[in-house]
Amino acid sequence: MEYSHYDMKDPYKKLGIRRVINAATSLTRLGGSVADPSVYRAMEEASKSFVQIPELQHWAGKKIAEATGAEAGHPTAGASNAITLAAAACIMKGTELEDYDPLELETWGGIAKKLPAHTEGLKTEFIVQRTNRNVYDHAVEFAGGKIIEAGPTEEALHKAYNDRTAAYYYTVRSGADAQPLPKIVEIAHSHGAPVIVDAAAELPPKKHLRRYIKEGVDLVIFSAGKTIAAPNNSGILTGRADLIKLAHLQSYPFHGVGRASKMSRETLVGFATALQLYLDKDEEKTFKEWQKKAKWITDQLKTVPGVTARASHSLHEAQEPLGRILSQHGPANGTSNAHHCCHPLVYLGPGYEGFEDVGNALRVTQEHHVLAAIGHLHQRVADLSSVEGATRKRSHRNPDRLVPECLYVVEQPRRRRDPVLEA
């Protein structure tokens, strides 16, 4: 199997920026995914004329609703923006904002501007299990919401509800002892409160687009810049029509909390094109292609002394099939310089947790994700496994810890701990 296309002309060289070999899947910080060429052609066509953005959003929202089986949908500038708009919609539920239509001339600006700072008299509390917190839920606070932590028990979740509760918030990848999503839906709906679910990274499989709506969730968030392979700054908010309308009334191009999170007409058309391509894709065929690449990369890695490798994941899990490596060697002797042996930069993930004993050599002690599709990663792993005396720089996470300057970084494997969602 050849991967010569990875050696194509570097478009960033003339900018003086080092390109990255993406071995960490569709991370936002690396630019998301790789869109089909037809997506860019559709975006170019969209650039040739003008349009009323709310009408284009409404059109894209219908595409989302069809794909997810929901009453309505709304395109957003990424998943985090979708969380903020979902929270804003729940806060403004029951207010005079419900009387307005996003397809009409904007006359509700004064009402929308209550968020995030002027929330007197509004329901602003979002109940989250203590074991279900994550780095993204602060997007709720951008809308003026307040996170209320509750213990992961039915009693605690019921007790946390009061007349200031706007919604229950749930992230699919929750802690091991968290109450499962069906139970959260049951508890929330017993109080007449909606449920917001962050399922940003839960594709593939494709069936997850409809899964959470079927389970009774009121608003669901997906990233569109990952597996869907839409422009990186695109996301999905889908669910109840009344809440989606409230989210739309507070999004760009209007003057609510979503004003700054713009999606151009080109991005909106590109997003809708990518979504349709994803829906039309033969998922089984695509998965087999990924498996073939995963096998190839693991076969290459197995030839590196001290390294064992295996391919993992099935089509029924919310992840791409990945090659996984586990280095079993200790500190090695060598004098190669990490900065020179690792160009272009090979990026495995956003953390340094897999590094141990970096003062002497690079020793990988955890399994970490390696996206199959990197033809020459074998040599990079071989080079880096024998680093000693490499130029190092301070870790941005731990200033007292030194890491190789090339930033060959790793990510702890993401674990699916919710047995209900895995069933």
Range with lowest mean pLDDT among 70-79, 181-190, 403-412: 403-412
pLDDT of residue 321: 55
Diameter over CA atoms, the chain: 71
**Are residue 194 and residue 214 in the same domain, yes or no?**
yes
Judge whether residue 273 has pLDDT over 90.
Answer: yes
**Are residue 263 and residue 310 in the same domain, yes or no?**
no
Q: From 280, 308, 340, give the residue that closes a domain.
A: 280
- Pair 320, 332: CB distance under 8 Å: no
Total tally of structural domains belonging to the chain: 2
Q: What share of the chain is helix, strand, coil (3-state, %, to 5)?
A: 35, 15, 50
Q: Which amino acid is residue 51, in one-letter code? A: V
pLDDT of residue 250: 98
**Are residue 99 and residue 222 in the same domain, yes or no?**
yes
Q: Which domain holds residue 203?
A: 37-280
pLDDT of residue 115: 97
Helices (H), 345-408: 377-384
**Are residue 275 and residue 376 in the same domain, yes or no?**
no
Buried b (16+ CB within 10 A) or exposed e, 27-38: bbebebbebbee
**Residue carrying structure tokens 């280095």:** 327
* Three-state secondary structure call for residue 87: helix
Judge whether residue 371 has pLDDT over 50.
Answer: no
Model confidence at 286, in pLDDT bands (50, 70, 90)?
confident
More confident residue, 208 or 3: 208
pLDDT of residue 314: 52
The two tokens of residue 391 are 């130029």
The conformation of residue 6, written as its DSSP 8-state character, comes to: G
Q: What is the mean pLDDT of the chain?
A: 77
- Pair 227, 204: CB distance under 8 Å: yes
**Are residue 42 and residue 172 in the same domain, yes or no?**
yes
* Three-state secondary structure call for residue 255: coil
More confident residue, 372 or 149: 149
**Are residue 244 and residue 199 in the same domain, yes or no?**
yes
| Residue 103 belongs to domain with CATH number | 3.40.640.10
**Are residue 200 and residue 289 in the same domain, yes or no?**
no
Give dist(CA 68, CA 87) in Å, integer.
Answer: 20
- How far lies 138's CA from each of 120, 128, 133, 152, in Å? 20, 12, 9, 19
- Pair 226, 33: CB distance under 8 Å: yes
**Are residue 225 and residue 305 in the same domain, yes or no?**
no
Query: How big is the CA angle at 146 (ends 143 and 151), to the nearest 5 degrees?
Result: 140
Give dist(CA 405, CA 220) in Å, integer.
Answer: 40
**Are residue 218 and residue 287 in the same domain, yes or no?**
no
Q: pTM value?
A: 0.78
Q: From 216, 248, 280, give the residue that closes a domain.
A: 280
Model confidence at 313, in pLDDT bands (50, 70, 90)?
low
Give dist(CA 48, CA 42) in Å, integer.
Answer: 10
Range with lowest mean pLDDT among 25-29, 203-207, 329-333, 343-347: 329-333
More confident residue, 361 or 298: 298
Q: Which amino acid is residue 316, in one-letter code? A: H
pLDDT of residue 312: 63
**Are residue 26 and residue 56 in the same domain, yes or no?**
no
**Are residue 60 and residue 152 in the same domain, yes or no?**
yes
pLDDT of residue 8: 54
pLDDT tens digit string along 30-76? 888 999 999 999 999 999 999 999 999 999 999 999 999 999 999 99
Which one, of 113, 108, 84, lies nearest residue 96 by Cα? 108
- Pair 226, 232: CB distance under 8 Å: no
Model confidence at 109, in pLDDT bands (50, 70, 90)?
very high
**Are residue 320 and residue 178 in the same domain, yes or no?**
no
More confident residue, 260 or 13: 260
pLDDT tens digit string along 201-248? 999 889 999 999 999 999 999 999 999 999 999 999 999 999 999 999
Share of the chain above pLDDT 70, in %: 70
Query: How big is the CA angle at 74 (ends 70 and 78), to the nearest 5 degrees?
Result: 120
Q: From 241, 258, 280, give the residue that closes a domain.
A: 280
**Residue carrying structure tokens 């953005």:** 53
Which one, of 408, 416, 415, lies nearest residue 347 by Cα? 408
- Pair 299, 311: CB distance under 8 Å: no
More confident residue, 154 or 305: 154
